[in-house]
Structure 1
């Protein structure tokens, strides 16, 4: 499953040639309504108000969403990101559909006949 991060901001010091980033940061907001299918069974509820209430036990507070003004968003921030260019990376166009991915063989939408 994927969880969208809304109002995403990325910052850092990027090398002029694009081969590295230092002191990077990512920040944005996650709408709890986007989490209901992912965590609903685990938490025993798919109600966003209840999920916000449960998250408050862990010190997380649902805040006003920039997208629609509803009070269902969690601020997220990742800091101190450093990275350098990686060579030899191959794009995987379809999820669970690549010769090196074991899940490919149980994916009915993946044509493995040419491997």
Structure 2
């Protein structure tokens, strides 16, 4: 998909696998952009599934983030999942939780899980 839409990448589209996000500054400009993308898809005999398409949205959830109005925010559903995450009972569950936190933190805050310069601490989980 990136090869097909390469002329538009980082100008009016973002592509991730088979997801195409078309962005514009105005409604008129958006209609032109959508038409350009449709023409290229048609040239390559690619079809869209109308059930999975959304058009003319001011904001939308894309790859776990709310995109729109020049902003990138974490999807509130992802935040809810982190808040409601059960307390980890072992190292594997802790790593899973930390991985989920790392995913949602990327656009909002530069924290990392590190222990550089810290003494080694053995984590114990009580059941």
TM-score by length of 2: 0.24
Q: Which has the higher contact order (CA 8 A, sep 6+)?
A: 1
* Structure with greater strand share of residues: 1
* Structure with greater helix share of residues: 2
TM-score by length of 1: 0.26
